[in-house]
């Protein structure tokens, strides 16, 4: 694990038990926007003509407590959550269990972006996927472009990649600035990219061999409140699929 990834692991491992309470408003919004965008993301779900009676296996990478996974659980047949933080994986498995989803959703600790393969059980669980999702984590990856390539390789034909993340802030000259690092000051050392534009995402998806690109900036902001202040962020959803 690189020093940067290790810094993420350490930070989120400490935050894990308070994460759900601290980001409750943001998590509710991520879940509801995901469900509202379900047919925009994919046509294959357990209740649609294209997906009925089929296996629909989904990986949430950098899953944290699994907000997106749990919101999509009724519409897929199997969910694998993977995160580099043991404590986040424990939160994922605790949530799955308390929602009665322990048979359908299982979390593992692994770094699927590392050169070396993960343990055999995890590699098998994370192969032949119908969907890979990454929520609010792409900006924490050392190399988002390589990350999407590695994860897209795990998709079946027609499998979908669905991303939610921060929109890039640019100044009057079109240069990205570091507003996100200022707002999330204590997490600044875990952030690599200051959000993503539609062009960024299209480039990453095309580089990963995916087609059918869509990107939408959400009109509802993602809100964060601490004891000292509240602020909001503009986020996007994006999707593409293996041809």
Ligand X SMILES: C[S@@+](CC[C@H](N)C(=O)[O-])C[C@H]1O[C@@H](n2cnc3c(N)ncnc32)[C@H](O)[C@@H]1O
Q: Which positions lie near ligand X, rule CB under 6 A? A: 5, 8, 12, 27, 30, 62-64, 67, 83-85, 88, 111, 113, 135-137, 140-141
Residue nearest to ligand X (CB): 64
Provide the minimum distance between the beta carbon of 192 and ligand X in the complex, in angstroms, as a whole number.
Answer: 9
* Cβ 127 vs Cβ 118: under 8 Å: no
Provide the minimum distance between the beta carbon of 98 and ligand X in the complex, in angstroms, as a whole number.
Answer: 16
Provide the minimum distance between the beta carbon of 231 and ligand X in the complex, in angstroms, as a whole number.
Answer: 15
Q: How far apart are CA 202 and CA 213, in angstroms?
A: 7
| Cβ proximity to ligand X, 59 vs 67, nearer residue | 67
The string of DSSP letters for 119-186 reads -HHHHHHTSSEEEEEEES-GGGSS-HHHHHHHHHTTEEEEEEEEEEEEBPPB-TTS-B--HHHHHTGG
| Cβ proximity to ligand X, 76 vs 136, nearer residue | 136
| Cβ proximity to ligand X, 51 vs 148, nearer residue | 148
Phi, psi of 199 (to 5 degrees): -65, -40
Number of helices and strands in the chain (H, E) = 9, 9
| Cβ proximity to ligand X, 30 vs 58, nearer residue | 30
What are the angstrom distances between the C-alpha of 241 and each of 21, 30, 31, 41, 158?
33, 21, 21, 9, 6
Provide the minimum distance between the beta carbon of 89 and ligand X in the complex, in angstroms, as a whole number.
Answer: 9
| Cβ proximity to ligand X, 102 vs 114, nearer residue | 114
Provide the minimum distance between the beta carbon of 83 and ligand X in the complex, in angstroms, as a whole number.
Answer: 5
């Amino acid at each position: 694990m690189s020093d940067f990834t290790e810094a993420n692991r350490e930070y989120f491992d400490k935050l894990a038990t308070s994460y759900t309470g601290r980001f409750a408003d943001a998590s509710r919004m991520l879940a509801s926007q995901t469900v509202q965008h379900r047919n925009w993301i994919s046509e294959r779900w357990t209740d649609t003509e294209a997906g009925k009676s089929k296996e629909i296996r989904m990986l949430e990478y950098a899953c944290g407590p699994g907000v997106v996974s749990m919101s999509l659980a009724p519409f897929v047949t199997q969910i694998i959550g993977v995160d580099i933080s043991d404590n986040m994986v424990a939160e994922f498995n605790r949530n799955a269990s308390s929602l009665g989803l322990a048979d359908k959703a299982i979390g593992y600790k692994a770094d699927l972006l590392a050169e070396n393969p993960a343990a055999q059980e995890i590699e098998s669980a994370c192969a032949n996927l119908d969907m890979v999702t990454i929520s609010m984590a792409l900006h924490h990856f050392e190399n988002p472009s390589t990350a999407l390539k590695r994860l897209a390789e795990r998709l079946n034909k027609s499998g979908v990649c669905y991303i939610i993340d921060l929109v890039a802030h640019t100044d009057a000259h079109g240069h990205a600035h570091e507003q996100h690092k200022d707002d999330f000051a204590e997490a600044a050392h875990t952030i690599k990219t200051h959000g993503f534009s539609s062009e960024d995402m299209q480039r990453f998806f095309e580089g990963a061999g995916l087609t059918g690109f869509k990107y939408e900036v959400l009109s509802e902001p993602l809100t964060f409140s601490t004891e000292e202040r509240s602020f909001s962020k503009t986020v996007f959803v994006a999707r593409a699929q293996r041809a």
